[in-house]
Amino acid sequence: MGAKLLLDRKQQSDLFLLSQGAFAPLSGFQDSDAVNAVLDAGRLPDGQPWSIPIVLLADERPAADRVVLVDESGEAIGRLDVRSAYALDKQRYASAVFRTTDVKHPGVAWLLSAGKLALAGPVEADPEWVARYALEFDLPASPAETHAEIAARGWRTVVGFQTRNPIHRAHEFLIKIALESVDGLLLQPLVGETKPGDVPAEVRLDCYRALLDNYFVAGRTLLAALPAWMRYAGPREAIFHALVRRNYGCTHFIVGRDHAGVGSYYGPFDAQQIFSDYRDEELGIQPVFFDRVFYCRRCASMATPKTCPHPSDFHLELSGTQVRQMLGRGELPPPEFSRPEVAEILARHYAALELAGGVA
């Protein structure tokens, strides 16, 4: 007895999600066979779809197999039953999951900086810690909570939307298109760790609430938190995000352009194409694909390359960088790009950053 293992924020997130069924059918950190099956085939050894190995990387094997998991304050938050330990082949992991071994890729950087030894085995989380952890987000954060909310609303079909950014009109447009054919929306921003420069979760949550309150039908939306961390694994993470949303009760999942991408490691539609490796029935959720979305002055509406025939000089498209620069200068993006209620929240955030001397 007495073996302890300190979990960092990412590992705490994995513990929470594993213990709550968000990563079902997984209930613990994966062993070598499972990891190899996922890396080679994008499936678990029994053939079920799974795209990102969930591994617990440590520097060394704990002194005992029953390990108490602790957080940075030293408090016990759960238990791990170490069934095996193995050296993870990080090059192989990176090549399969991130499609690159470039250390500038944030997922690769995480992998290389983590421990060498993978500890595998089932986990349990301390219920009080689970409650405290979920409370941080002040939103439904576990599959049990979203299932209850979905049941209370009587939705039979639910589309999930993953985001780590504020929602502008382009994404509002495609969410609303999806809402024409399903009963409800699970807007489930990722609130775990993202990369520096991303808008903090609490500011984004204010933006989401402003958007839902002003532009969506009450009773058709559910705002929840996904306390996962971003892997930036593009196509593999799109499958992962879809499977996780299935576990949270979604029947449909929106996959836009460059889902979970970073830099130019993935083609803009790689994260859609990968779905053809799986049947919808085995995923248990139906992907809903969208192309690039922009405002077209000639169409006088939001549009995509599938529906708008007009040349690009009619199109209003702003990059994330352009929007950050406008907001940093105290300018609001045009209402065709961003709802004023959302733009104002972001403007206040960037003004505060500016005062603190911190806009990139």
Q: Which is nearer to a copy of itself, 87 or 218 (CB)?
A: 218
Give the DSSP per-residue string, 266-319: S-TTHHHHGGGGS-HHHHTSEEEE----EEETTTTEEE-TTT--S-GGGEE---
CA-to-CA distance for 265 and 230, rounded, in angstroms? Answer: 15
332 binds a copy of itself (CB under 8 A): no
Q: Which is nearer to a copy of itself, 288 or 353 (CB)?
A: 288
Q: Which stretch binds a copy of itself (CB under 8 A): 41-49, 222-230, 298-306, 322-330?
A: 298-306
Taking the CB of residue 347, how many other CB atoms lie within 10 A of it?
Answer: 20
SS3 label, residue 238? helix
Please tell me the number of Cα atoms within 13 Å of 326 on its side-chain side. 15
Size of the site for a copy of itself (CB under 8 A): 30
| 158-161 and 252-255 beta bridge pairing | parallel
312 binds a copy of itself (CB under 8 A): no
317 binds a copy of itself (CB under 8 A): no
From residue 262 to residue 291, the character string flagging contacts with a copy of itself as x (rule: CB under 8 A) and all else as - is --------------------------xxxx
Q: What six digits make up the tokens of 321?
A: 């960088």
Q: Is 164 among the catalytic positions? A: yes
Q: Which is nearer to a copy of itself, 56 or 303 (CB)?
A: 303
Helix (H) and strand (E) counts in the chain: 13, 15
Q: What six digits make up the tokens of 195?
A: 């990369």
Q: Identify the DSSP state of 169.
A: H
Task: Please pick, among 79, 92, 99, 165, the residue that the annotation labels catalytic.
Answer: 165
Q: Which bin fits 56, alpha (ψ -120 to 50), beta or left (φ > 0)? A: beta
Residues 136-195 close enough to bind a copy of itself by CB under 8 A: 173-174, 176-177, 179-181
Select the residue interacting with a copy of itself from 216, 257, 328, 334 (CB under 8 A). 216
344 binds a copy of itself (CB under 8 A): no
Select the residue interacting with a copy of itself from 25, 127, 197, 335 (CB under 8 A). 335
211 binds a copy of itself (CB under 8 A): no
255 binds a copy of itself (CB under 8 A): no
Q: Is 165 among the catalytic positions? A: yes
Binding site for a copy of itself (CB under 8 A): 173-174, 176-177, 179-181, 214-218, 220, 288-291, 299-309, 335-336
Residues assigned a catalytic role = 164-165
